[in-house]
Structure 1
Amino acid sequence: MRRRALLLSAMGGAGALVVGWAVMPARSRLGAARLMLDGEGVAALNGWIKVATDGSVILAMPRSEMGQGVHTALPMLAAEELDVPLGSVRIEQAGADAIYGNVAMLVAGLPFHPQEVEADDGYGRVKASRWLVGKVARELGINATGGSSSVADAWDVVRLAAATARARLLGAASLQWRLPVEELSVRDGVVSHPSGKSASYGQLARFAAATPSGTVRLKEHKEFRVIGEPAARIDIPSKVNGSARFGLDVRLPGMRYAVVRLCPMLGGAPGHVDSRAALAMPGIDRIVMLPAYAGSTAGIAIVGKTTWHARQAALAVDVEWQQRPGGGLDTRRIEAGLEAAVRAQSGHVFHERGDVDAAEAAGRQVEAWYRAPYLAHATMEPMNCTAQVRGGKVEIWVPTQVPQMASAIAARIAGVAPEAVTVHVTLLGGGFGRRLEVDYVAQAVRVAMDCGGVPVQLVWPREEDQAHDFYRPMQVALLRGSLDKDGRVSSLRIKSAGDAIQPRWLARALPALSGPLDMPDKTTAEGLFDLPYGFANQKMEHVATRMEVPVGFWRSVGHSHNAFFSESFIDELALAAGQDPVEFRLAQLARLPRFRAVLALAADKSGWGSKALPGRARGVALHESFGTIVAQVAEVSLQGGLPRVHRVTCALDCGTVINPAIVAQQMESSVVFALSAALHGRIDIQAGVVQQGNFPSYPLVKLADAPVVDTWLVASQRPPGGVGEPGVPPLAPAVANALFALTGKRLRSLPLVV
């Protein structure tokens, strides 16, 4: 925290100090060996890598595994540079040092347009800005799993750490054998010399810990033996045999269980509470009042012998719930308010090129309103946290995407120093951005404080999880295109309105940083201001609102709804111009060959241009997010008047592919996740109460309704982009465009109702 305070002070203080700091080299992320505690039979070689006497490699793991495969992908990077089999690499949870912070996630927040990024020669404004923000991110050291950034962030640092460890191990052999290091080679963790001398990493580890690294060289792409090859996920066996430990699997001696019951009205609070009947029930210990922690709604928790005992007792508590001071929230009024904001308020202009006003005055107009509702995360594992508070120390076991923030709020609630908190990150039964929040951690610590040192597992029932989420914001947009006298699109104007996530999240999770960083939020306009198409005149503007519904990051964030707006409207412009949707897009991508290649691949593999099966139609969408370009073609029919998606052809350029099998899995996951939202997802609020209480009223796509997903990769040697989220945004517009081709009806609101 001291480093952050000094940094912010410098940034807001004397100009000379800021300039002096800015020209200093970026802080190294390699880290000292002391950051990885030595144990019996292991030797730490830097802050990321240690080697055991049996030759196995232990990698510090700063990122949370929530199904995206990061616990396999990062060990693959280490295995590649160390020249060891993937099965030789184990992981252990990283500590809290700044070297484990997610630099790539913060750098990705810079609002650059794709054409500017593609045109940048590597030494211009884009690179300079990324370098400076990366420097700030290294100082802040915020450890978070999000933004599809885990592999992108690890690409340089984990490979460098492994290559440095390899160099030290080779150096140790060179010194012991008194042979030139250039004559040594490594294969499967064994260092050898043509003379016949050889030693395993395990035999060299202790000596290597005291050996300088010498020359460190990262492998070139042509040398890769692990990266780029399909590999079985490391986490799958334990998930199959049941030994994997998620948050709800934590069991500790003497543990008690707590269940929350929050005020049904968002932002409300409990008034009079009569808990006599509940406390008289078998197996019940106590009731704990829960304030509105970290953006949550206030409520109560009941502690008992089992989750079932606590759940039944929580329902038996008689509470007079009080509405929020500002009155009950209502989604119908919120939507009307957003439309009014678009019509009447000026917003932040994220992108402007040419003269849109002049083009509109001289051309024919195509105009449409698009709308997207609030959405819940609906993770399979509901919110939970196990906490123990005793002897001035706090220990928590939690499925979280932000262990540092979980630690910070635990310390704040318990009134202890940050170093008195120990965090154990379990596997996550789904994250999707919901576990970037720490409200449930605060609640668990508060309950544990009342339990006399006994560990307590706090669980949210599914209904509470659904009714008290941090939702994807509702958003509306007005899109207008102009066509000149020759029928060519001459301008594109987009104006949208919706709540900004970033400042609200910072206020909840990092209150000290919320003020300085409350500025235009890129996530509100991503997928609108950064379209790749080369229309001569463009203007993209967003009105940031505060509708008081708790909002948070949702898988692919603003791209998730903005891609639906933009890519559906691009089809409308293609129709107005009398062109095929694929050909229309290709013509506007003349300066962006990577985008053209992805779109052309998807069109080719889907059979675009050929006749679809009877009763079916195809729709296309192209979108870039999190450093990855994705094109999807959806093949759709109507069955019983309802949309049925049979096949989705997905092409993508995600830079260097670490594990093609995981990429394919993530595209399949994204398609099913996005299809659930496109066909069913909406959160309605009346008088402050969320109307969707569980999966029957918030359905997900079932296995029988899931489409076939074909994934095709464009070869690339660029640094890796994300794969966990980029497959989500194109799905809804591809399906909507297919439904238009099938029915002639343009659907401009989500979910898609024919």
Structure 2
Amino acid sequence: MTIHQTSLGRRGFLVSGAAVAGGFSLGFHIPFEDGAAHAQTVKELNAWVVIHPDDKVVIRIARSEMGQGTLTGLCQLVAEELECNWSKVTWEYPTPAENVARNRVWKNFSTGGSRGIRESNQYVREGGAMAREMLIAAAAAQLKAPAAELTASNSVITHKASGKTVTYGAVAAAAAQLEPPKEVKLKDPKDWKIAGKPVKRLDTVDKVTGKQIYGIDLVLPGMLVATVRACPVIGGKLKSFDAAKIEKMPGVKKVVAIDGNAVVVVADTYWNARTALAALPTDWDIGELGKVSSETITQMLTEGLVAQEAFVGNKVGDAKAAIDGAAKKVEAIYSFPYQHHVTMEPMNATARVTADKCEVWCGTQNGEAALAAASEASGLPVAKCDVFKQLLGGGFGRRGRSDYVRQAVLVAKEMPGTPIKLIWSREEDMTHCQYHPITMCKLTGGLDAQGNLVGLRVRISGQSILASLLPGNLVNGMDPATFQGLMASGVEAAYGYNVPNLLIDHAMRNPHITPGFWRGVNVNQNAVYMECFMDELADAAGQDPLAFRMKLLKPKWAAVLKAAADKAGYGKPLPAGHFHGLAQVMGYGSYVAGVAEVSVSADGHLKIHKITAATNCGHVVNPAQIERQVAGSFAYGLSAALYGEITVKDGAVEQTNFDSYNMLRIDEMPKVETVLVPTGDFWGGVGEPTIAVAAPSVLNAIARATGKRVRNLPLMHHELKKGA
């Protein structure tokens, strides 16, 4: 199959990039970082706010920034309540060790599951509001006026009766000595002036000018560079290696075995380390795992589709009886492959370990998990460890794990006092990821004589992320995360269809390939299964896919789907050969829907012209950033739908680099239209929900264009010629 999409204008990209403006980042004192300590001489108002005498406002952000805009959004929320001058705002990361030492005053450092803003909005806003009240109290003392008569705006406090004013910088030191208020009243979102607005991001200028430092760019005095090779078969062991063969190669300083399954070469440069590692003779013990292949994994999952034992995630009525008695029965089997995170910056971390201190510099989605890994690997208590977070060159869930941090610390421990930067090669990164889990799904639906859905049976067979990474989070053996987007109650409640008889269950099957949290996680495949099958049911009922869904959907699900359909002009005439496809889902606290417009030429060339997306995330903190997140999620989701597939041969991952794992190119990107329909009654996520409607909306549009139903991805394996 040949795939073509319309081009995202290069000039538009360059113009928007040239138009950015923003701030710069400061840090808590980081060893070796010149000039960072000056922030320590200025007293904080509280954990979230530091104001300098020149009115510069430093807002501390605990969540990680990896391109999603959480950094700017959280600063907007604090600044809104603080009533400060946005042009004077900058930011800094507190460290996870300081968070622990201060009784977790910054609360959760984890950044995943689209939780950055939706889970921390309340307490960061309170931090800004408390700082504002302390500044007003200090100004009242200086101006000799009642605090109730003072107003704050744009970093200036005014006593209207006398006309006197004072800046935040002038009273910040005095305010820092005051007791924080016990309670504060937060602003009504309708009165927001900074939050809710499309302000420019604080991290963009350094990124587009190349000034931004990521973990892989970090340079420390006396630093050495290391790279690692783990057993090519995940779960295998290192039997032996011959260090003598490479010890005299240029720049080589040390060869270290770690964790019983990997070997590391430390050298003066990355190139020398990598060259020596490539020449290092190694012998691996892979045992029976060497017999595993994509074919054997498929067999394992296929068996699960008909297994007697399964965990029930959602049950209403008697689905089997309803389907058995239905006028028409519809059945389909879908599958979703392993997917790689493909962060542009491969895994890396820099560590320095001494007898009484362990320090790590890295990009991480979970600073406290990285801190725990550093403590465990170094053998030092948490109080003697710290992690200095860097901006991430891509996360997508992969940097929520800390395996690369652990490795860096283990190597640095072998060379006390020397900073060691451990960099995974692209090949190591590609073959030792924690991949989007592989699953299959059998769906069976029953329609009555009028085309109404009377029963639905959904059997998922495949991997459990929690069973592999967080077994303590299983519920009586069941992985509730497997049912993301499909459960009617509990923390994963998101199923929007009113089906009178429903059974959704999971036959857990866990191959040795490690699954992980990949952007959108299980909502991705579950949306493909459910939304594509809903189209199949609509076809079997002889009904329009939108009308069929609207009869079944609960109000908020229906509203967002209608908003996307209306924006896309669904049901109205399209250019000749163009077809629409629909999908909707609720995930990460938000309601989203997508309408894809595609065409397929007679010789099978697919062109995705446009995707229209509607999002109800409750509150909108930065509408421009939401639009970018939606577009970015489609780029990521379409890459997976068109090309994404990790395969296994002889127990090992076959794909090693971008020559064998393709990604969507900028000239393939469709036009994206976003409509925001916030209802203002909840806080939802943005970064992950919309990715889930990319694949099913396109698949449904392809079915309309060709009459062919694609039930397994990626699309690159399918012939789309009409009539073929």
TM-score of the two chains, using structure 2 as the length reference: 0.89
Give the corresponding residue for 1:257.
225
Q: 1:46 to 1:269 in 2, by over 3 A?
A: same
Return the offset for 1:534: 1.2
1:396 to 338, 360, 377: 360
Cα gap change, 1:622/1:517 in structure 2, threshold over 3 Å: closer, same or farther? closer
Please say if 1:282 is aligned against 2:250: yes
Larger RCO of the pair (alpha carbons < 8 Å, separation 6+) = 2
Is the Cα contact below 8 Å between 1:676 and 1:701 reproduced in 2?
yes
Matched, 1:200 2:162: no
Q: Is structure 2 residue 165 aligned with structure 1 residue 165?
A: no
Deviations 1:668-727 (A, max 9, x none): 100010000001111110111111111111100001111111111113212331111111
1:638 to partner: Cα distance: 2.7
CA contact (8 A) 1:269 1:324 kept: no
Deviation at 1:203, TM superposition (A): 1.4
Letter in 2 for 1:269: K
Cα pair 1:527 1:566 within 8 Å, conserved? no
Fraction of identical pairs, as percent:
39
- Partner-residue secondary structure (3-state), 1:676: helix
Note if contact 1:348-1:542 (Cα within 8 Å) is conserved in structure 2.
Answer: yes
Task: Quote the residue 2:466 is aligned against.
Answer: 502
Are 1:359 and 2:322 counterparts?
yes
On the 8 A contact 2:238/2:284 being kept in 1, the answer is yes
Q: Which runs of structure 2 are paired with 1:482-497 in the superposition (5 Å)?
A: 482-497=446-461
Structure 2 residue aligned with 1:636, among 575, 590, 598?
598
- Measure, in 1, the Cα distance between the counterparts of 2:280 and 2:648: 24
CA displacement at 1:652 relative to structure 2: 0.9
> Judging changes above 3 Å, is the alpha-carbon distance between structure 1 residues 728 and 504 closer, same or farther for their aligned structure 2 residues?
same
Structure 1: how far apart are the matches of 2:536 and 2:170?
66
**TM superposition shift of 1:329:** 2.6
CA contact under 8 A between 2:118 and 2:683: conserved in structure 1? Answer: yes
CA distance in 2, matches of 1:414, 1:138: 22
Of the three residues 116, 119, 122, the one matched with 1:156 is 122
Q: Is the 8 A contact 2:51 2:172 kept in 1?
A: yes
Match of 2:483, as an amino acid? A
Assess, with a 3 A threshold, how the Cα gap between structure 1 residues 469 and 493 changes in structure 2: closer, same or farther.
same
RMSD between superposed Cα atoms in Å: 2.2
Alignment partners' CA distance in 2, 1:324 and 1:392:
40
- For 1:114, the equivalent position in structure 2 comes to none
Match of 1:524 in 2: 482
Secondary structure of the structure 2 residue equivalent to 1:368: strand
Could you tell me which residue of structure 1 aligns to residue 633 of structure 2? 670
Structure 1 residue aligned with 2:274, among 300, 308, 311? Answer: 311
Are residue 624 (structure 1) and residue 586 (structure 2) matched?
Answer: yes
Q: CA separation in 1, counterparts of 2:106 and 2:117?
A: 19
Q: Which amino acid is the alignment partner of residue 122 of structure 2?
A: D
Contact map agreement 1:602 1:631 (CA 8 A) in 2: yes
- Partners of 1:502 and 1:170 in 2: CA distance: 48
CA contact (8 A) 2:62 2:106 kept: no
Counterpart residue number, 1:560 = 524
Secondary structure of 1:504's counterpart equals helix
1:91 aligns with 2:91: yes
Give the 3-state SS of the residue equivalent to 1:730 in structure 2. helix
> What SS does the aligned partner of 1:148 have?
coil
Aligned to 1:430: 394
- How far did 1:287 drift? 0.9
**Contact between 1:384 and 1:458, CA under 8 Å: does it hold in 2?**
yes
In the alignment, the residues of structure 1 paired with residue 330 and residue 104 of structure 2 have an alpha-carbon distance, to the nearest angstrom, of 46
Q: 1:273 aligns with which of 233, 241, 250?
A: 241
- Per-residue CA shift, 1:200-231, capped at 9, x if unaligned? 11111122223344462110122111111101
User: Once the two structures are superposed, what CA deviation does each residue of 1:291-328 show, in whole Å capped at 9, x if it has no partner?
Assistant: 15xxxxx2211111111111111110111222145544
Report SS of the residue matched to 1:243. Answer: coil
Deviates more, 1:326-335 or 1:557-566: 326-335
2:713 is the alignment partner of 1:750: yes
Quick one: distance in 2 between partners of 1:519 and 1:141? 29
Structure 1 residues 655 and 321: CA distance shift in structure 2, 3 A: same
Q: Tell whether 2:560 aligns with 1:598.
A: yes
**Which one is further off, 40-49 or 559-568?**
40-49
C-alpha separation in 2, matches of 1:746 and 1:716: 35
Whether 1:248 aligns to 2:216 is yes
SS at match of 2:117: helix
2:64 aligned partner: 64
How far apart are the structure 2 equivalents of 1:518 and 1:450?
Answer: 42
Contact kept, 8 Å, 1:163 with 1:217, in 2: the verdict is: yes
Contact map agreement 1:100 1:141 (CA 8 A) in 2:
no
Q: Is the 8 A contact 2:233 2:290 kept in 1?
A: no
Q: Is the 8 A contact 1:353 1:539 kept in 2?
A: yes
Deviates most, 249-258 or 341-350: 341-350
Name the residue aligned to 2:156: 190
Structure 2 distance, partners of 1:71, 1:281, is 44
What is the aligned counterpart of 2:187 among 211, 214, 219? 219
Q: Which position in structure 2 is the counterpart of 1:132?
A: none
Instruction: Compute the displacement of 1:342 (Å).
Output: 2.4
The answer (yes or no) to whether the contact 1:267–1:324 under 8 Å persists in 2 is no
Separation (CA, whole Å) in 2 of partners of 1:541 and 1:456: 47
Contact 1:498 1:545 in 2 (8 A): yes
Q: 1:522 corresponds to which letter in structure 2?
A: P
CA contact (8 A) 1:329 1:549 kept: no
Q: Check the 8 A contact 2:466/2:473 in 1, yes or no.
A: no
Label 1:659 to 1:677 Cα distance change in 2 as closer, same or farther (>3 A): same
**Larger deviation, residues 185-194 vs 602-611:** 602-611
Contact 1:266 1:329 in 2 (8 A): no
Note if contact 1:265-1:323 (Cα within 8 Å) is conserved in structure 2. Answer: yes
Deviations 1:623-673 (A, max 9, x none): 111111111111112355243212111111111100011000000100010
Q: Is the 8 A contact 2:320 2:457 kept in 1?
A: no
Q: Does 1:737 align with 2:700?
A: yes
Name the amino acid aligned to 1:423.
V
Contact preservation (8 Å) 1:503, 1:518: no
One of 468, 474, 480 as aligned partner of 2:444 = 480
Query: How does the TM-score come out when normalised to structure 1?
Result: 0.86
Q: CA deviation at 1:492?
A: 1.2
Matches of residues 584-733 of structure 1 in structure 2 within 5 Å? 584-589=548-553, 592-638=554-600, 641-733=604-696
Q: Which residue of 2 aligns with 1:413?
A: 377
Q: 2:310 aligns with which of 315, 333, 347?
A: 347
Structure 2 vs 1, CA of residues 158 and 249 (structure 1 numbering), >3 Å: closer, same or farther? same
Q: Which amino acid aligns with 2:54?
A: D
- Counterparts of 1:744 and 1:48 in 2: how far apart (Å)? 56
State whether residues 47 and 105 of structure 2, in contact with CA within 8 Å, keep that contact through their aligned partners in structure 1. no
1:127 counterpart residue number:
none
Please list every run of at least 4 consecutive aligned residues from structure 1 whose deviation after the TM superposition is greater than 6 angstroms: 97-101, 137-140, 515-518
With over 3 angstroms needed to count, the CA separation of the structure-2 counterparts of 1:336 and 1:628, relative to structure 1, is: same
Distance 1:207 1:185 in 2: 18
Which stretches in structure 1 are left out of the alignment for 5+ residues?
A: 1-36, 102-136, 293-297, 508-513
Amino acid at match of 2:184: V
Q: Which amino acid counterpart does residue 256 of structure 1 have in structure 2?
A: L
Aligned partners of 1:480, 1:335: CA distance in 2, in Å? 20
Unmatched runs of 5 consecutive residues or more in structure 2: 1-36, 488-493, 720-724
Aligned equivalents of 1:679, 1:193: Cα separation in 2: 61
Does the Cα contact within 8 Å between 1:256 and 1:306 map onto a contact in 2? yes
Structure 1 CA distance for aligned equivalents of residues 368 and 475 of structure 2: 19
Shift of 1:502: 2.1
Question: CA contact under 8 A between 2:95 and 2:386: conserved in structure 1?
Answer: no
Instruction: Kindly provide the CA deviation profile for residues 708-751 of structure 1, in whole angstroms up to 9, marking residues without a partner as x.
Output: 11111113212331111111101110011011001111111111
- Distance 1:455-1:631 versus aligned 2 partners, 3 A rule: same
Give 3-state SS (helix, strand or coil) of 1:495's partner: strand
What do the CA deviations read for 1:382-427 (whole angstroms, capped 9, x no partner)?
A: 0101111124211111111111111111111111111111211101
